Amino acid sequence: MTATTTTPTQPGFGERLAAFGRILISPRGAVFLLLAILLVAITVLNPSFAEPDQLVRFIQRVAPIAIVAIGQYFVIVGGEFDLSMGSVVTAQVVIAGNLIGQDASLALPVTALMLAFGALVGLVNGLVVSFLRVPSFIVTLGMMLALLGGVLYWTGGAATGNPADEFRELGRGGIRDLPVIGILPWAVVILAVVLALAIWFSKRPFGRTIIALGDNPVTAAYSGTRTWWVKTSTFILSSLSATVAGILLVGYAGVHPSVGRGYEFTAITAVVLGGVVLGGGRGWVVAAVAGAFALEALFTLLNFAGVPSTYRDAVQGVIIILAVAYAATTFRARRKGRALEASPAGPEQAPEPGPDEAKETVADPASARPAHIPSTQRDDNDTKGGS
Amino acid sequence: MSAASAAPRPARPRRRRRLDASLIVGIALVAVIVIGAVLLATIGRNFFSAGNIRDILTGMSVLGFVAIGQTLVILCASLDLSVPYVVSLSSLIAADIMAGNPANIPMAVLVVLVVAALIGLANGLIVSKLKVNGFIATLGTGLIIKGYLDTNYQGTSGSVPWDFQLIGATGVGPIPVSTLLMLFVALLAALFLARTRTGHRIYAVGGDEQVARLSGIRTARPVIVAHVLCSISAALAGLLLASRLGVGSPTVGTQGGYDLLSIAAVVLGGTLLMGGRGSIWGTIGGVAIFAVVDNVMSVLQVNPFLKDVVRGVVIVAAVAVYTSRQVDRRRPRFGPRGSVSQATDAPGGSDSTGTGRPGETSSDREEVRA
């Protein structure tokens, strides 16, 4: 990323530019390219979007999703899922609405309580996943049902009361009277802080251990990782991030049991758009945040383009499939290329047509690069036509 | 499950273990029934009355259809999150084409099944050819269908003739026809898994795709077949719902939460979420557990929101009981490959990748013999 600023003084400008370009089209950087294209497209449709205050508003709107995506990133890169995030957001919003009420002096203790509750939810998720060996998909699904049901039971299914304005200020207020942007929303500040913390954290040994655990739990365990604690901490992080998002949403969207619904899938979508591999071990937290931005930019674009809001979902579906397919095929091609010497399975989209299992089986025992096997080529074509 | 019956070699321990797997689900089901019966007895209701049995069986049928298909997909180590939208879409298509005229029924059913098969084909191709994770691929296609539904339907639509509504309404004794149909489809699916080549390959591919491919299996095809069958069985659930409601509804699938509940039922039935191990009958057991728990809570008039809490706890608790058994049970599988055995036994917390592997080797060998 920094290449562009430093290049003039450095030799090999073209080389660096090429490397930068390669990063952009690689799965890891593709999300930034996508985001840039979307932002440019929005600006073309609606030039006022590029004005600083509009941009800041946009970031404010993305902040809760981006924060949830950061939490989900840690869980996914550690090799698990967290489907309970949406319910955690809802639960925190309702807790804030019910407990703070109009009494502003309660804001701080209740915030502390919410954070503690978030940490507890994550702790339970993580412990059940680590010690009872229940797949995280099921644990967090159960947690999602139980939390949502519990919150609705508590409130009787209807929202009760708005918290004090001082508390809502976090979500909708900001630092006023600034020169260029007019107002700097607290949400943007919080997002920046959370992102900075996340980057710092993922550079720490502990953050790297999470990635190692997601990549290969056996190796991670052998190299001395306390796997249960690392795994549990990722769930705690994700629940805490959902709590922060909930605090922002209280101010921004008000108190309602439907706030936060579907956030778990939005977060997973954003993370995956950011090139993070489901199953763990690969990904970059900044890209996950960029995925959240790209998703929201996509919605904004569809809005400006006059696409009926009902088609938003369909377009979202197409985009995520294409993005992941692109990442998957590129990754595969590159890995095959590198692994050619070791196992000559050959690139699947090779000159010879056909992803063909038969040939690879034949080729595999011959450890060196195999010569052409003319007799099997016809089979390859048949295979392709058949499957 | 019953694949073991076809095994000619002296696979004595495996046969016992396989029985074990469905046995645990059965025991859990019996336990749930006993607890439920006792709870109902305390408020003076009879759990085993014909009406109650019929309620439970009716409650099983729709989720059962969806879960059968979901089992096939999960056995391939994929997922299908698009089922609720397929359910809604097929109920709408069926009701619209039938339009109250009994003569249109065959046509409507045919169109529904073809549309569902195409959706499943798209899912399967995206998962196997574009290498998109099943979670994301089906989330995407589900969103696409949702967009179509939201755009074209504002509310319920079409109307279902009485002849077709009978399917959802009649029964043989206390057993509803819909449940019989569901069990018949389950039988077909179980035979498909146990007796056909593709069925065996589904296990092999789900266990370990690399090994399956190196054994000469075209790994794409079982995945595609599983996805097509899953969408078709979801469409059957949609047809059944249309016959019950008398109209098609764009929200009937999402309201039922069939995506996550069917996955929960499959896992409850002892199928590994990572693929390669599991059975249709276990899934039916899981669906039955859900139906019984729901029924007991309805009769006890539990608050509907508390029901969700109980459901969530039951899912996690049941799977926890199941997996803790399974981990112990599966350990001897590592035996023949001693090094692996020590490797995975030592660091207690790291079963997830290790355990997926051995299951596949056995089904894989089976496949090669077939």
In a shared domain, residues A94 and A172? yes
* CB pair distance less than 8 Å for A130 and B307: no
In a shared domain, residues A308 and A373? no
Compute chain B's Rg from CA coordinates: 21
Facing A357 at nearest CB: one of B141, B219, B327 = B219
In a shared domain, residues A365 and A258? no
Smallest Cα distance from A2 to chain B, Å: 31
Contact by Cβ (8 Å): A353, A384: yes
In a shared domain, residues A174 and A302? yes
Per-residue model confidence (pLDDT) at position B20: 60
Facing B305 at nearest CB: one of A152, A355, A358 = A152
SS3 assignment, position B370:
coil
Per-residue model confidence (pLDDT) at position A85: 92
Contact by Cβ (8 Å): B318, A188: no
CB proximity B106 to A under 8 Å: no
Per-residue model confidence (pLDDT) at position A336: 52
CA-wise closest residue to A346 among A371, A323, A381: A371
* pLDDT at residue B324 is higher than 70: no
Contact by Cβ (8 Å): B265, B278: no
Q: Number of A to B CB contacts under 8 A, please give it.
A: 188
CB proximity B147 to A under 8 Å: yes
Quote the CA–CA distance of B239 and B134 in Å, as a whole number. 25
Structural domain of residue A83, as residue ranges?
30-335
Facing B306 at nearest CB: one of A149, A325, A386 = A149
Contact by Cβ (8 Å): B270, B326: yes
Interface list for B 217-236 with A (CB within 8 A):
217-221
In a shared domain, residues A250 and A365? no
A259 token code pair: 């706030």
DSSP state of B334: G
Contacts of B354 in chain A (CB under 8 A): 218
CB atoms within 10 A of CB A63: 28
Q: If you average pLDDT over residues B205-223, what whole number do you get?
A: 90
In a shared domain, residues A360 and A275? no
Best of B352, B355, B364 to disrupt the A interface by mutation (most A CBs within 10 Å)? B352
Q: If you average pLDDT over residues A229-257, what whole number do you get?
A: 89
Quote the CA–CA distance of B213 and A275 in Å, as a whole number. 26
For A364, name the nearest residue in chain B, comparing CA atoms only: B214
Quote the CA–CA distance of B51 and A292 in Å, as a whole number. 51
* CB pair distance less than 8 Å for B319 and A134: yes
- B328 pLDDT band, cuts 50/70/90, is very low
- B346 pLDDT band, cuts 50/70/90, is very low
Residue A66 forms part of a structural domain: yes
DSSP A278-330: TTSS---HHHHHHHHHHHHHHHHHHHHTT--GGGHHHHHHHHHHHHHHHHHHH
* CATH number of the structural domain spanning residue A56: 1.10.3470
SS3 assignment, position A255:
coil
CB proximity A153 to B under 8 Å: yes
CB proximity B368 to A under 8 Å: no
* CB pair distance less than 8 Å for B273 and A137: yes
Cβ neighbourhood burial of A255 (10 Å; 0-12, 13-18, 19+): buried
Per-residue model confidence (pLDDT) at position B231: 96
Partnered with residue B280 across adjacent β-strands are none
Contact by Cβ (8 Å): A65, A241: no
- B325 pLDDT band, cuts 50/70/90, is low
Best of B73, B309, B364 to disrupt the A interface by mutation (most A CBs within 10 Å)? B309
Smallest Cα distance from A314 to chain B, Å: 4
Q: CA quadruple B247, B248, B249, B252: dihedral positive or negative?
A: positive
CA-wise closest residue to B37 among B299, B219, B303: B299
Q: What is the CA B7 to chain-centroid distance, rounded?
A: 25
Smallest Cα distance from A76 to chain B, Å: 13
CA-wise closest residue to A61 among A197, A191, A230, A154: A191
B150 token code pair: 């939201």
| pLDDT tens digits, one per residue of A73-89 | 999 999 898 999 999 99
Q: Which residue intervals of A161-216 are DSSP H helices?
A: 165-172, 186-203, 205-215
CB proximity B342 to A under 8 Å: no
* pLDDT at residue B119 is higher than 80: yes
For A319, name the nearest residue in chain B, comparing CA atoms only: B140
Per-residue model confidence (pLDDT) at position A241: 94
B178 token code pair: 């819909």
* CB pair distance less than 8 Å for A317 and B142: yes
* pLDDT at residue A6 is higher than 50: no
* pLDDT at residue B47 is higher than 90: no
Quote the CA–CA distance of B25 and B326 in Å, as a whole number. 12
Quote the CA–CA distance of A284 and A286 in Å, as a whole number. 6
Partnered with residue B157 across adjacent β-strands are B248
Quote the CA–CA distance of A353 and A369 in Å, as a whole number. 18
User: Quick check: pTM over 0.80?
Assistant: no
Quote the CA–CA distance of A266 and A295 in Å, as a whole number. 9
Q: If you average pLDDT over residues B71-82, what whole number do you get?
A: 92
* CB pair distance less than 8 Å for A143 and B312: yes
SS3 assignment, position B248:
strand
In a shared domain, residues A176 and A102? yes
Partnered with residue A185 across adjacent β-strands are A174
Please state the φ and ψ torsions of residue B196, each to the nearest 5 degrees. Answer: -100, 160
Average pLDDT across chain B, whole number: 81
| pLDDT tens digits, one per residue of B134-160 | 888 999 999 999 999 998 888 888 888
For A222, name the nearest residue in chain B, comparing CA atoms only: B347
Q: Report CA-CA distances (Å) from A210 to A79, A137, A203, A205, B305.
A: 9, 18, 11, 9, 36
CB proximity A290 to B under 8 Å: no
Contact by Cβ (8 Å): A63, A248: yes
Quote the CA–CA distance of B144 and B139 in Å, as a whole number. 9
Of the ranges A82-86, A308-312, B22-26, B173-177, the best mean pLDDT one:
A82-86
* CB pair distance less than 8 Å for B146 and A311: no
Quote the CA–CA distance of B170 and B163 in Å, as a whole number. 11
Quote the CA–CA distance of A216 and B245 in Å, as a whole number. 49
Residue A22 forms part of a structural domain: no
Residue A298 forms part of a structural domain: yes
CB proximity B354 to A under 8 Å: yes
In a shared domain, residues A281 and A377? no
Q: CA quadruple B166, B171, B175, B177: dihedral positive or negative?
A: negative
Q: Position B235: which residue type?
A: A
Contacts of A384 in chain B (CB under 8 A): none
In a shared domain, residues A146 and A174? yes
Interface list for A 211-250 with B (CB within 8 A):
216-218, 220-222, 227-228, 231
Facing B140 at nearest CB: one of A317, A357, A360 = A317
Please state the φ and ψ torsions of residue B175, each to the nearest 5 degrees. Answer: -100, 120
CB proximity A83 to B under 8 Å: yes
In a shared domain, residues A254 and A364? no
CB proximity A270 to B under 8 Å: no
Domain boundaries, chain B: 2-338
DSSP B126-164: HHHTS---HHHHHHHHHHHHHHHHHHH-SS-B----HHH
Facing A133 at nearest CB: one of B131, B135, B324 = B324
Q: If you average pLDDT over residues B35-41, what whole number do you get?
A: 89
Of the ranges A155-159, A234-238, B165-169, the best mean pLDDT one:
A234-238
In a shared domain, residues A261 and A381? no
| pLDDT tens digits, one per residue of B267-311 | 888 888 888 888 899 999 999 999 999 999 988 888 888 888 988
Provide the phi-psi class of A177: left if phi over 0, else alpha when psi is between -120 and 50, else beta: left
In which element (H, E) is residue B243 found? helix B220-245
In which element (H, E) is residue A175 found? strand A174-178
For A218, name the nearest residue in chain B, comparing CA atoms only: B350
- A152 pLDDT band, cuts 50/70/90, is confident
In a shared domain, residues A328 and A361? no
Quote the CA–CA distance of A130 and B166 in Å, as a whole number. 49
For B135, name the nearest residue in chain A, comparing CA atoms only: A278
Interface list for A 357-376 with B (CB within 8 A):
357-358, 360-361, 364
Structurally, chain A folds into a number of domains equal to: 2
Contact by Cβ (8 Å): B143, A316: yes
Residue A206 forms part of a structural domain: yes
* CB pair distance less than 8 Å for A218 and B347: yes
Contact by Cβ (8 Å): B233, B120: no
Please tell me the number of Cα atoms within 13 Å of B231 on its side-chain side: 27
Partnered with residue B176 across adjacent β-strands are B171
| pLDDT tens digits, one per residue of B179-191 | 999 999 999 999 9
Q: Report CA-CA distances (Å) from B240 to B70, B146, B189, B236.
A: 17, 20, 18, 6
Interface list for B 304-323 with A (CB within 8 A):
305-313, 315-316, 319-320, 323
| pLDDT tens digits, one per residue of A103-138 | 777 788 888 999 999 999 999 999 999 988 888 888
Q: If you average pLDDT over residues B33-51, what whole number do you get?
A: 87
Residue A7 forms part of a structural domain: no
Per the listing, tokens 């992080």 go with: A237
Quote the CA–CA distance of B191 and B199 in Å, as a whole number. 8
Contact by Cβ (8 Å): A71, A233: no
CB proximity A161 to B under 8 Å: no
A124-A129-A135 Cα angle (round to 5):
130
CATH topology of domain B2-338: ABC transporter involved in vitamin B12 uptake, BtuC (1.10.3470)
Facing B213 at nearest CB: one of A145, A265, A357 = A357
